[in-house]
Structure 1
Amino acid sequence: MALRSVFDGGALRAELESAGISPNFVPLIWKYVLQVPGCDLGNVPSLPSAAYPILRSKFRPFTSSLSAAIDSKDHLTTKLLITLQNGNSVEAVIMRYDTRLGKYNGKPRPGGPRSTLCVSSQVGCKMGCKFCATGTMGFKNNLSTGEIVEQLVYASRFTNIRNVVFMGMGEPLNNYAALVEAIHIMTGFPFQISPKRITVSTVGIIHAINKLPGDLPNVNLAVSLHAPDQDVRCHIMPAARAFPIGKLMDALQTYQKNTQQKIFIEYIMLDGVNDLELHAHQLGKLLETFHVVVNLIPFNPIGSSSSFKTSSEQSVTRFQKVLRGVYNIRTTIRQEMGQDISGACGQLVVNLSEQRSTGGATLLTDIEDLHI
């Protein structure tokens, strides 16, 4: 039987509790593993004696391994290739920002360097979005809670991670239980990342969106909408057939009423497909009653077989002007990072047969800038 990651919190707590050991020791175990990465779990100090045989026989500090770390030329992006216990691989991407270089309302912003980690929740993806390289892999398997958290542990060795976004490989809400548990671990001791600095992205899994306010309060929601009407959405996102746009909007209205939080709308710009002025007006009318930030994403090539082309700068700017000027919707244009290491949005794919990295992922403009 494969050993579990010590960061599989539910399993670890259950084993300890079955032996009459308080679950309060769990965060102390995690803290030690973070401080001593190559540790023997039998050396974790100050545990009840009954805990040690459980740790040695059923758990490992890590069930994955960091196989490679690739830096972009500007050193702002680092792509991590992580090999899982079953031999499959996923990627996580670190993106570095310096808030002092940006402005808000024409004024310099306070602060300094900070890093965002884009994590994967599955190997491959079932959604099959035609503009995303991960969809070409098909679905391989869900990540365990421990495998999700271990991405954060590896990234923390490179830099202090301030924000986490679930925008890597996979549809996070299709791995709901592991997602929820992983975020609870990330927001607790010893990681202590604020829930307000964690963002979960989804194509629109309605039943899971309905559960989010109760299970993950204060965590941000990003919806990969990518089209303002059902026909276009189904054309580029086949999974959208199961989530009609009208029902999705109803679910988002309820979500926003319950949380009072803004929703981030992801919109990839595909030349001649969804980037016309007509589409901008349709999107504006769809979203004008919501408190949202629309993020326009330049399409990144995913191979010679793709039939899509990147929208021109003029089309993107015109689209933004309609949303801002006519509908007063806050709209940003994503600043791409890591393209020289295939670390840009939609390029995340791992060639499992050759066990090498051929893709990556990235985030929008620094997520914290959108919270103001």
Structure 2
Amino acid sequence: MASSALHSVFDEATLRNEFKKRGINIRCIPVIWKYLLLNENAEVFEVPGLSNAAYDVLRSKFIAMTSTVKATVKSADQSTTKLLIQLQNGSFIETVIMSYDTRLGTYAGSPRPGGPRATLCVSSQVGCKMGCTFCATGSMGFKSNLSVGEIVEQLVHAARISQIRNVVFMGMGEPLNNYKSVVEAVRSMIGHCFQLAPRHITISAVGVIHCINNLKYDLPNVNLAVSLHAPLQEIRCQIMPAARAFPLGKLMDALHAYQEHSKRKIFIEYIMLDGINDQEQQAHLLGKLLEEYEVVVNLISFNPIGSISKYRTSKKENVELFQKILRGVYNIRTTVRQEMGQDISGACGQLVVNLSDKKSPAKMEYSGKPEGIPDIEDLSILRS
């Protein structure tokens, strides 16, 4: 069998099914994973202590890693690391590791809890078909969905660099447009040797309503972040063409049902675009839209995306007033995300793979200054 046809050993459902067909004890799967995590260059058949039948299956149908890290770029302050990963079909994706210390600063006048930790921002697709006009990934168009193994392998690559505590599906692609693979990948991340807490995983979505309706049953303890970005459907359609398929009223009904079932806060992502969605009137409209929900609104600075950008970053005073209205008038918990990795094009909305540039990805020139951010998972458990 050709190497390109081999499955990732980190595609748990496929591995489990193949083992069950041969009567192999599936309890050895965590053993296989742990060995490969600790031995970066090991082959699947080198895992010790398995049965002959297990080795036969592994040799014929699986490979330790289907993807390869082709370039690693660090931000100037060393807080952010962007990985350029090549898939076995030749396509490229990006994943970002953000490291920080949550004890820095204060929360509600008291020292912040926690300590050093790392969050991994993973991709779920090559490109994206949602076409959000403020996002660099959208300029790529949709290329393909990632397999379960290709999603989980991003965590494997990152775990060899840093101890990952949190995973956010905020990289390239719309996670809910690759629903089955994302759900299976998350289940692998919270089980066996990864053992991530469900509340430390966040799935970010533009608003694929039927998938949100399913998510509350399939992954009830995982965080949901919704890219709302405007309180009116007309503005959403202007900046997010895919929003035409997801009417705001129906989306809010789906979020209500999701929250009733999950009993969890919902994160609302709101990118601040100067003169588009950042005015005082729009803050009041957003407050009225959300005041009956248990939400945390995360105001996101627009990150420049080169020549394709037609927007400007909101003025600081507009962001502050927007936050003040949501907090003071509507009692909605509202944070301002301070981006990490802008100097390596690893911040929100900046992930795009363009290998037509003659520069090596590892030697690309970047500008800007990254800053620390609060951890989105921490926001769901800190007191209001």
Structure 1 residue 363: deviation in Å? Answer: 9.7
Aligned ranges for residues 1-372 of structure 1 at < 5 Å? 1=2, 2-353=5-356, 357=361, 365-371=374-380, 372=382
Displaced runs of 4 or more, over 4 A? 352-359, 361-364
Percent same amino acid among aligned pairs? 65
1:345–1:363 Cα contact (<8 Å) kept: no
Amino acid at match of 1:349: V
Number of residue equivalences: 371
Structure 1 CA distance for aligned equivalents of residues 223 and 138 of structure 2? 24
Partner secondary structure for residue 100 of structure 1: coil
What RMSD, in angstroms, separates the aligned Cα atoms of the two structures? 1.6
Structure 2 CA distance for aligned equivalents of residues 327 and 154 of structure 1? 42
Structure 2 CA distance for aligned equivalents of residues 258 and 117 of structure 1? 27
Amino acid at match of 2:377: E
Structure 2 CA distance for aligned equivalents of residues 52 and 90 of structure 1? 31
Structure 2 CA distance for aligned equivalents of residues 13 and 47 of structure 1? 15
Structure 1 residue 139: deviation in Å? Answer: 0.4
Structure 2 CA distance for aligned equivalents of residues 234 and 72 of structure 1? 34
Structure 1 CA distance for aligned equivalents of residues 239 and 324 of structure 2? 24
Structure 2 CA distance for aligned equivalents of residues 349 and 84 of structure 1? 15
Structure 1 residue 63: deviation in Å? Answer: 0.3
Structure 1 CA distance for aligned equivalents of residues 354 and 268 of structure 2? 29
Q: Residues 191-226 of structure 1: CA distance to partner in whole angstroms, max 9, x if unpaired? A: 000000000000000000001121112100000000
Partner secondary structure for residue 228 of structure 1: coil
2:338–2:371 Cα contact (<8 Å) kept: no
Question: What are structure 2's unaligned runs of at least 5 residues?
Answer: none
Partner secondary structure for residue 41 of structure 2: coil
Amino acid at match of 2:109: G
Q: Residues 63-94 of structure 1: CA distance to partner in whole angstroms, max 9, x if unpaired? A: 00011111101111011110000111111101
Cα distance change on mapping 1:362 and 1:38 into 2, 3 Å: farther
Partner secondary structure for residue 202 of structure 2: strand
Higher mean C-alpha deviation, range 218-227 or range 47-56:
47-56
Structure 1 CA distance for aligned equivalents of residues 371 and 71 of structure 2? 17
Question: What are structure 1's unaligned runs of at least 5 residues?
Answer: none
Q: Residues 13-36 of structure 1: CA distance to partner in whole angstroms, max 9, x if unpaired? A: 111111111222212111111111
Tell me the TM-score normalised to structure 1 length.
0.97
1:88–1:352 Cα contact (<8 Å) kept: no
Partner secondary structure for residue 351 of structure 1: coil
1:343–1:362 Cα contact (<8 Å) kept: no
Q: Residues 212-255 of structure 1: CA distance to partner in whole angstroms, max 9, x if unpaired? A: 12111210000000000100000000000000000000000000
Structure 2 CA distance for aligned equivalents of residues 39 and 154 of structure 1? 14
Structure 1 residue 97: deviation in Å? Answer: 1.3
